[in-house]
Structures are given as structure tokens and as C-alpha cells.
Chain A
Amino acid sequence: MLSRTAESLFWLGRYTERAANVARGLAVASRMASLTDELNAENDQWRPLLVAAGCEPAFFEHHGEATEEKVVDFLVRDPANLSGIIPCFSAARHNGRSVRTALTVDMWSALSDSWTRLRHVTPADYQGEKLPGFLEWVRERVLLFNGAAMDTMLRGEAWMFVQLGTALERADNTARLLDVRHDLLSATAQGSTVQHGQCQAVLQSVSALRAYHWTYRERLDPARVAEFLILRPEMPRSLAACYDRVVEVLELIASVQGGRKGECHRMAGEAQAALRFGRIEDILTSGLHAYLTQAIDGVTALGGEIEAFYIRA
């Protein structure tokens, strides 16, 4: 496959996933903001969201205060924020358009129809009461895109690079979401309303609250939540599951290329092994924040190695 095509597909996977993750994050924050005062007094919902999206510095370059309206606008529409929902869709569509031939008609329609609508979206369509409905729609559009890829795409290299982008972006997002709330998750004080609310928020933002109940069958416990999102392979958005996927796809690419492998394969395998055999107690003892910071850097480094091996070689 053409390197440029691989690059566009990889970023197509990353941008669509990122748009959905921002929508998930926003949905949870908006939900939390509407709950008890106690929760909001302790820690407002909007600033952590900016941190999780990795765009806190950019936000404060343009705005003095993180009010709901400003944060929502920044994360949905503002062209200054390349990780916002609409800019992500725009970038995804641009990448998709430049490799139009590698996509199926269904994938293209999912992408292009979303973009056609987003182009005409105004703040009136996503501020205030309209926000939950709008975010739901964004999530559904990305689910449709992923479903179209899953159901219609030839299992060739094109498919593999989209999957690689999706899995890597998802790992990055999960690590960031946890990191934003690492203080509360590693705190020893158990059972406060605030902590319970935070645990809920983290799980809901990865659509995993019910999955947690099914897996642990006990009340929300910060250490279990961290374990669930870092180490449990059956949780499809956990770091472990994302790395399983990354390794699997990298192996597939290597096998269609006659076994050709590089540093990215070693790196991904190493991270996967650590996740497979790691224990949450050890992670918490040595510090959740330090661990997650390293994980986020690890995803960035792996992304760089993948590009170096397949795209810029």
C-alpha cells in the first residue's frame, strides 16, 4: 500500500475515534454538572475535560475562564482547537477524501454525510438543552463509521491501518481520562459521594458502567475502576485491550508483508506484555499519575515508530 494512503487511513481512524471520545467526555461532564452541588463544589467538571482532551493550554490562550459555554464551544466547534469534534470530522473527511478509493461507499457515506451536517451546525444546535442530543448524534455517527468499516471493508492493509489508528487513539484517550481523575482514584478515603461520582464519570465516559457491574458485582471502588480500565482485556476500551488490538494488527501487517518487522513491533509487544502481567496494586503503589503519564508518552512514541517504519521510511 502507498505510504501516503496508509498515513491518511491511520489518521482517519484516529480522528474519528477522537471526535467520539471528545463527545463522550463532554456528555459525562454535562451530566455531572447537572448532579449534586457537593460534586461540583469540590471540582468543577469542565477543566478536567480540557486536560483530558489535551487542549488545556490552548484553551487558556484564548479564554480566561472555563465556563460551560466556552468549554463546549471550544471542544465542539472552535477551529483553533484541532482536537474539537467538528475540526476532527473535518480532518477525518479530508483524510478520507484523499484516499477515497481505499474506503467503501458505506464508510464514505457515514463520514461525508456527517460532515455535510456538521458544516452547517451553529452554537444554537449544541449549546444548552441541545447538547446531549448533539453529542449522542456524534457518537452514533462514529459508531456507524466503525460499523461500516467492520462490515464492509476488505481485510487488506487499508483496513489494518484504520484499525491501528482507532486502537492507538483509544488507548491514548483511556489513559488521559484516568489521568485527569488520578487523585481521586488513588485516594484512600473511601465511599464519599464525590469519589463515587468520579468513578461513575470515568466509567460512563467509556460506556462501561454496566460492564463494571457485570465484571465485579460490587460497589464502585477506585482501585477496581483503575484495574478495569488499565488491565482487563475483556473491557474493549482498556489499555490492555487496545494494546492487544495494536499488536494483533501490527502482526497482520507484518504477515502480509512477508514478516517484515521493526521497532514498532517490539515496542507494542513490550507494552502488551506489561499490561498482560501487571498488577493494579503495584501500579497504585508506584503512583497512578506517573504510570499514566508514562502510558500516554508510550502511545505517542509508538505512534511515532509506526509512522517511521511504514510511512516515512
Chain B
Amino acid sequence: MTGIAFDEMGEGDRLRPAYAAIAEWLRHTPQADLAAKRAEAEVLFRRVGITFAVYGEGGDPERLIPFDIIPRILGRSEWDGLSAGLSQRVRALNAFLADVYGRQEILRAGKIPERLVNGNEQFRPEMRDFLPPGGIYTHIAGIDVVRTAPDQFYVLEDNARTPSGVSYMLENREATMRLFPRLLARHRVAPVNRYPEELLATLKAAAPERAGPNPTVAILTPGSYNSAYYEHCFLADEMGVEVLEGADLCVEDDIVHMRTTAGPKRVDVLYRRIDDDYLDPKVFRPDSMLGVPGLIAAYKAGNVALCNAPGCGIADDKAIYPYVPEMIRFYLGEEPRLDNVPTWLCEQEDHRAYVLDHLHELVVKLAQGSGGYGMMIGPHATQAERAEFSARIRARPQDYIAQPTLALSTVPTLVDQGIAPRHVDLRPFVLSTRDEVRIVPGGLTRVALREGSLVVNSSQGGGTKDTWVLERDPPAGEGRSHTQGQTQGQTQSQGQTQGQGQGGAAC
């Protein structure tokens, strides 16, 4: 795939302006120096303890997600277009959630097949006819975006439940600032470090009204064995709030308290990073040891806010995904600014026939899978794997969707053999309140480190990159013009030196 994919840096005459300084830096930095910086980065990450916990697979349970030191860069106007599209999409997802748990207008209008919603495992009947405080369901959404050409972005997947990875966006930038302060200063990169503040504002805005202007916010984590536990603690620390486990909370008379050394203290907003199923053993899975008995009753009594709301899974379900453009038209009366990847639903007979005929060129995914598991990339699959998926699709067609194999864009990446293009995606984080949608410029760039691989998931050997959004677009035209500008600057200072009579010809 790499050969025909769009490379975001480009080279020679096709060097893209945003990367001009990076290309120059890569040309002038010896390989050994880059390798040394990479080693330094690993020490930094190990030291702050930003690890991704993988238990039960043997090996080191606390792994580092590889950090690639070469940044990925987006120009201002590229970002602005993307950001407007993301904001539009998340507004539509929230409107959809309010609708399907309310009057279900979109189903009555026949825009989405009714059984895809009401018969969906992700649909939570418990949420029917209940409006969360502020009317927002997915306060924090992570939208996975891929790119195939300078102006062609696609939304690959919506994550409306408990998207993770934002700590990497922040820590990657910290690492870049430590490793390459001068390179960073040569660009004007929009800062990402306001994210925790924005997140706290978003969570506070979700509080029940009676909580007053200073609600008590806390993060609810499944605990230290969860793969994203570091992130839960990191965000709590950055916001100055407690990170709670289920056992730290108790519910009495529909009011949620946390157990403190000074006795019980009331909690108003929970940024919960526990899946719906485990939230409350009284309502969802009765065997859950992670949740809080009575939490949902307290939520429905309006005494505590849950972010994101239970039931958001219906909005990011892969079977619903093909209808997001329709949602945007239906709720917002706008044309979608970001494209969906064309998707075939194996459940539909004509789609299924097409998929089975074209397995060698399609990506087949589980409709409700995540993490890159249960997925087949047709062009990379063996005959046997294709045969196996063919059988699985025939047996349970409703479980599978298929998409064309996109030539994901590439970004230069430091690998063992040197610098080479590797495929990337991008997960920006979208924060929603009743009044506004906020997106910190940037996101998590994931990179498939193996040559030709399209799977960027950290659980499948993916790495991450710092994502730079330039505050201003670089000067139009070729990368070279930027370099010329600098040369002129140098000439000017030479002239000054010469004026003072101290020959500067050798400079």
C-alpha cells in the first residue's frame, strides 16, 4: 500500500510547505542522533509511568506504546476544515442520542431502519424518556479520521462511549518540548495543554443544577488493571479531582457519596471510564464488581451526572455508522463536511453478495468490535483467512460490515532501517456542552510501525506521534521558498556585520 499512498510530507518538488522545516531537519540530523533521541524519549515515558497495561498475555504487563519522535503536521486551514466537520458530526450524534431515547423521530421518518436501533445490543431501554442534565449524551467523543489525499479525510469510526488516548496527545507534546525545543519553536504550533481545563469545564457544565457553581467532579475508573488506568490518574491529576473506584462510592437515598477520611462527601459529576455494562449491578450486569449499586437510580433522580451518559454505544455502533451523514442532514439541515468511508452491511443481501465477491479488496470488521480484533484486511489476508471470514459472514451476517481498503496517508517515521513512510490515522477529542463544542487543536496520531501495515491500534503493534497543528498556514508554494526566506534573513545580518568592517564572507 505504501507505494501509492499519499505521503503527508512529500519530497522533492512535491515537498508540502508545512513540512519544509521538518524535511530540512531530517536531512541534517544524523541517524545516530535521532536514535539517541528515541532512546531518550523512551526513558522519559517510562519515568512518568505512561504505560499501557496489557494483562493476561504474558510478557511485561506495563508496556510502553512506542512514541515516534517525528511529528505529524497539519496546516491551519486543513485543521479548520477538519474541526468544523468534527464539530458538526458530534452535534448530530448528540441530537441522535436525544432522539432515539426520546421521540425517535428519525426512525419514524424512515431514515434509519427501526430494528437497527431498537434491536441493537447497544441500545439501552433504561435510558428511554430520560433527558440527562444539559441534554448532552456524549460529552467526550473521539472521532477516528483517516486521510487518503490532501483534501480527502474520512471518518473511520466514532467513539462516543469512553474514548481513550488523550493522555498521549498531551504527553507526546511534553516529550517533544523536552526533546526538540528548538524545532518546535521554529514552527508555530497551537498548544494542546488546555485540554484538561476544557475537560473540567465540560464536566462542570454537565452537573445537575442544584450542585451550584462549584460541583464536585471525579473520575470513575475500573481500577489499576485497566489498560487506560494511567490516563485516568493523569487526567484526575491535571484537573485536580479524585480518581475513584466503585468501592469508593456509596449511594444512599439516591445520593452518591465518596468515602473520605473525614466521612462521606457528596459527588455531583462522574467522568466514568467504566463501560455501561459494569456501571451498576442493580441495573446492568449483576456480577459487576467494578460498579456502584444504585448509581443509575441516583442518576435518574437527577442527583448525579454521568459523563458520558449510559447508552451512547448506539451512536458509535458500526451498524449505525453508515447513517451518520443522514443524521447530519436530518437534525442539522446541513450537508456533511466530513465523508464516511463507504460501508457495506453484510446483513443486507445485496451488500453481502458484493462483500463475498470482493473479499480480496475489502476490510471486514465486526460490527461491534474494537481494538482491531476480529478484523480482516482483504489484500493482506491469506486464502485460508478469506475462506474463514467468508464462512463467518454467511453464518452471522449481522455481525459484519465491510469497507474498501483505503490507502491511508503516510508520514515519515523513524524505524530500524532509517526514516520511512508509515500509515497513520488521527483521533481528535471533541468536548460538548449544551452551549458549545470545543476541540483542542490536535489529537492522537497513531502510526502502524510495521511496513505496509494498516493497523494502528496500540494493542496490535501501533505507535503514536505528536500531532502539530500550525497556528498559521505556511507560506504557499514549495517548501523551498521557506528556506529562501531564511537565507535572506541571514544575508541581511551578514550585511550588518560587513558594514562594521569585520569581514563576514566566511559566515
Contact = CB atoms under 8 A, between A and B. Distances in A.
Interface of A: 1-6, 94, 97-98, 100-101, 105, 108-109, 112-113, 116, 157, 161, 253, 257, 260, 310-311, 313
- Chain A CB count within 10 A is highest, among B46, B233, B243, B261, for B261
20 contacts: A2-B248, A2-B261, A3-B259, A3-B261, A4-B245, A5-B242, A94-B224, A97-B49, A98-B224, A100-B49, A101-B233, A101-B236, A101-B237, A112-B47, A116-B46, A157-B261, A257-B261, A257-B262, A260-B262, A313-B263
A100 B261 contact: no
A203 B46 CA distance: 39
Nearest to B237: A101
Contacts of A260: 262
B419 interface: no
Contacts of B46: 116
B259 A101 contact: no
Contacts of B49: 97, 100, 108, 112
B175 to A, nearest CB: 15
Nearest to B241: A101
Nearest to B224: A98
Given A105-B48, A109-B47, A112-B49, A3 B260 contact: yes
Interface in B232-246: 233, 236-237, 242-245
A119 to B, nearest CB: 9
Contacts of A108: 49
Nearest to B239: A101
Nearest to B236: A101
B236 A3 contact: no
Contacts of B230: 100
A250 to B, nearest CB: 12
A5 B247 CA distance: 12
Nearest to A310: B261
Given A97-B224, A257-B261, A4 B247 contact: yes
B292 interface: no
Interface in B134-174: none
- Chain A CB count within 10 A is highest, among B47, B242, B245, B260, for B260
A3 B48 contact: no
A7 to B, nearest CB: 9
Contacts of B224: 94, 97-98
Nearest to A102: B237
Interface residues of A, dominant DSSP: helix
B245 A100 contact: no
B363 interface: no
A97 B229 CA distance: 10
A109 B43 CA distance: 11
Contacts of B295: none
A2 B218 CA distance: 11
A6 B261 contact: yes
A1 B260 contact: yes
A310 to B, nearest CB: 4
B199 interface: no
A55 B212 CA distance: 54
Contacts of A2: 242, 244, 248, 258-261
A161 B5 CA distance: 57
B182 to A, nearest CB: 25
Contacts of B263: 313
A253 B48 CA distance: 29
Nearest to A258: B262
B328 to A, nearest CB: 39
A81 B248 CA distance: 29
Nearest to B263: A313
Nearest to B247: A4
Given A101-B237, A257-B262, A313-B259, 10 more contacts: A1-B260, A2-B244, A2-B248, A2-B258, A4-B247, A100-B230, A101-B243, A108-B49, A113-B47, A310-B261
- 5 A-B pairs with least C-beta separation: A101-B237, A310-B261, A3-B259, A100-B233, A257-B262
Contacts of A94: 224
Nearest to B62: A97
A252 to B, nearest CB: 12
A313 B258 CA distance: 12
B102 to A, nearest CB: 36
Given A109-B47, A112-B49, A1 B261 contact: yes
A105 B49 CA distance: 10
Contacts of A113: 47
Contacts of A161: 261
Contacts of A3: 248, 259-261
A3 B247 CA distance: 10
B235 to A, nearest CB: 9
A116 B49 CA distance: 11
Contacts of A310: 261
- Chain B CB count within 10 A is highest, among A97, A100, A109, for A100
B438 to A, nearest CB: 24
Contacts of A105: 48
A112 to B, nearest CB: 6
Nearest to A157: B261
Contact of A4 (B47, B48, B237, B259): B259
Contact of A253 (B47, B236, B245, B261): B261
A161 B49 CA distance: 23
Contacts of A97: 49, 224
